[in-house]
Structures are given as structure tokens and as C-alpha cells.
Structure 1
């Protein structure tokens, strides 16, 4: 049996998923996809887990697919079947009902870049490098990048990033909205954990319904979104979370959830 390629730890409601092939810059394999999918499904059912941090072992996030195991002349039907299997993991990330934050250091290339985009937020180190490297191998984007990247940077910029297969620095990723924050390599992981732990205090139903609404906002009309908001508020306003939060407000106590402000750095000016 092959050694595990994903490490999972849980502490105080925060689950940390680590892609663990540092000798290959955490390149993705069929085994890693399967283990990530299994972990996400397990964490989704675990009521003790309130937020998830996804990162890579060593000094890199993920270099994408394992090019050493690629080659031409493969049956298209076999590739299609493998991609459909990989896509199950991306859909699990998109449908994940708890905050999912990617902590990106070093390279996030090809499918690794796509994987980061599938998270709710990206917190990056100042040495992070992003690249839609697919064109270098004559490939198109996968793992949902053709969906997620244009929604973040706009269609024309997404075309340029994908067609050119150039590297995007951490600072450019911040400017484009790919990364929410960029911090020094020594502190970015702690900031990602701080943000994840804070979001763990959000209303579970409020967060999951907000995520679902936002996911379909660019394909829906106003009337459909208003209808979805009305249904979401009906559920949220009947929750015990609201009752507790309102009582704390009345007593002038600190709120259950408060976004942790980033400490000013040169990277976030």
C-alpha cells in the first residue's frame, strides 16, 4: 500500500489538510485526489470541524499535475474518465459548507493554481508564485480554472494569464484579487489559521447559504437572487445562532464572530 499523500489534523474545530509530497512540490496524483476527496467528505460530516485550512508540505503549495507521469498518445476516453474523477474533488470544494482557506507558499502552478482558486480565500506568502502552466504542455486549463479565474480577474485578464502561461507574483495576485492577503513567509500561515479560526465562529447555516447564493450570483437574475435570499433569511432568522447573537448584542457583549483585521505590512498597503 502506498504511503498517504495527504495529512489531516484537527485542533479546536480547525482541520488542516496538507498535500504531502514535498519532494515533488506536492504534485497531484490520482491517489492524492482520492485522499483529498475522502478527507473533504469526512470533514463535511464532522460537526466538530468548523473550518478547513488547505496547504502544502515544505515550501510549496502545489506544482500541479505530476508531469513525470504524463505522456502523449493516451486514449482520450481514459483521460476523460480520470478528469471526471478529479472533478469530483473540485465540486466537493465548491459545495463545501464550511470555510475553506488555501494557504499558499512557493509554487501554485497548473492544477495547483486551480486548486487554490477553488477555496473560499487564498492567503499567500510573499514568495508565492502562481502560474496557469497548461499551455507550456499544449494543454487547456482544468479543475475549474476556466470558471473561477474569469470571475476573479475578468475575462480578458484570465485569457492573458492562461494563454501566456506566465508567472503571477504574489503582489500581482493580491492586486488582481486572486490572493486576499499577502504576508511574509514567516507569518502567512499563522494569519491563514487566524482567519480560519475566526470564520469557524460564523453561523454554519448563514455561511453555507451565503456561499451558495454567491456561487450562482453571476448566472442568475435579480428576481432569482432575491428569492434565494428570502429563503436563506427565513432559515437564518429561525436559528439558535441568531438568538444567541442578538442576546449578546443587547447585553453589549462582543459578537460571536468578528473578522480579524490584518496587521499592516508593506505587502498589504
Structure 2
């Protein structure tokens, strides 16, 4: 199973489990996570949700071969691809969502953190949003949410250059709650989840709803806007050059494009 789910003591843990592919995410994996999140919303036994990966890697982002096979669905306004089902379920989750991240969190691996409530990183974590390096643009409202969290200049640096940044830098810019030694990460995140489980579920739900009250409509609109640009750019020459370079294991040449 590329996605593992485990429910115990009020905590639903959803884990990436494809280490041989660096936890690269396929559409089937997105579907499994979307289904798990939706089921959790209707399960009174679940009071907190924990997302995690492997000690050496959270996720390398989209599985590019699988992504390109299914890219047509991204441009279809009538389709709801699994990736959108997952991100919508994550953004609309009423129960608290905690992320425990170690190793690399590439592309959507960083984007999805913006839709979590609490984020804990191991000291070996490296975050990146290399969309411009692939001839693409930010996704799932990250152009809006990230700058709200860290400020315009810091967001511009990370989104425009697309370079990886460390766990400590993520903490210093206010993006994450805490950085911990690798062996302490999961126990700490589980401890926080346990604290949330013991609190009144209604109080947690209402608190989260109030905090995000002004966000849902704006996030949905921004997701749609980014998706429109993303879909166009996915079929543009720059992206084709970037993906071809990736598969050919060479550096892309964007000098011919203006």
C-alpha cells in the first residue's frame, strides 16, 4: 500500500509509504488520501488527523510520469481529479490536521502544509516549491496563503526561485510550529494530537472554523485562478522543455523562451 492509514485513540494517521519512489504521489495515492480525509470527517471516533511520511523523506511531490499521463484531466473544468479532491478535503477539513515532516517535501509536499493547522519538522527537513523551475506556477492557493504567512518578500524568494530551504529557515519565517531532532518528531506530533483528542471536539471545530472564516471562499477562488494558469502553462513549451530535461537527466534550457 502506497498510502497507509491507521486509526487509534482518536487519531487518524495517514502516511506516505512509497519509499522506493521517494514517496512520489500518484493519482491513486491522492484518491486514497481524499477518501481517508472525507471518511474521517464523518467518523466521530476520529478527533485529530496526522499526516506523515518516512524518516528519510516526506514526499518528492508528484510522480511526474503518472502526472503527465493524467495531465489532461487538470485542464478539464468538468473533471475533479484526485489531486483536487485531496486538496479540497484537506482545506475543508473541520478536524485539526497535523503534519510531521522529515526529509524532503517537494512541490505539493510543501503546498499541502499550508492547509494544515500545525506543522512540525525534523531537523533534516528540506522544503521546496520548484514550480518556476518546471515552467509552471504556484498551485492550490499557495501564492496567496504562503505570503500571508511569511510576508511578500520571503514568499517571492521561495516561489520565484523555487530553491529548497531548511527546517530552521521555515521556522524562522513563521511557517512551521517547531523543529525537532528526527527521532523526536513523530512522538512529539503524536503527543500534540493526543492533547487535541482530549479537548472538547466542538470547541476545536468552532475555533478552527472561526480562524478560517475569511479564507474558504478566497482560497477556492485562488485555487481556480492558479489552476487555470497552471493548466495553460503545463502545455506550454517551457514546461515541455523542463519535463523533457528531467526525464533526460539534464539541465533545462529556457534561454529560447521570452
TM bucket (normalised to shorter chain) is 0.7 to 0.9
1:124 maps to which residue?
121
Point out which structure has higher relative CO (alpha carbons under 8 A, 6+ apart).
2
Distance in 1 between the 2:145 and 2:197 partners? Answer: 24
> What SS does the aligned partner of 1:198 have?
helix
Quick check: which has more Rg, 1 or 2? 1
Give unpaired runs (5+ residues) of structure 2: 218-258
Distance in 2 between the 1:117 and 1:161 partners? Answer: 14
Distance in 1 between the 2:172 and 2:157 partners? Answer: 16
Q: What TM-score, normalized to structure 1?
A: 0.74
Is 1:63 aligned to 2:63, yes or no? no
Distance in 1 between the 2:129 and 2:157 partners? Answer: 10
Which of 71, 80, 89 aligns to 2:75? It is 80
Distance in 1 between the 2:84 and 2:47 partners? Answer: 24
Q: Which range is displaced more, 191-200 or 138-147?
A: 138-147
Change (3 A) 1:216 1:155: farther
Alignment of 1:32-111 (within 5 A): 32-70=29-67, 78-81=73-76, 85-111=82-108
Give unpaired runs (5+ residues) of structure 1: 221-269
> What SS does the aligned partner of 1:52 have?
strand
Contact kept, 8 Å, 1:118 with 1:144, in 2: the verdict is no
> What SS does the aligned partner of 2:87 have?
helix
Deviations 1:139-172 (A, max 9, x none): 1121332232112112232121100111110000
1:6 maps to which residue?
3
Could you tell me how far 1:75 is from its partner in structure 2? 9.7
Change (3 A) 1:75 1:95: closer
Distance in 2 between the 1:67 and 1:45 partners? Answer: 33
Distance in 1 between the 2:54 and 2:122 partners? Answer: 14
Change (3 A) 1:88 1:106: same
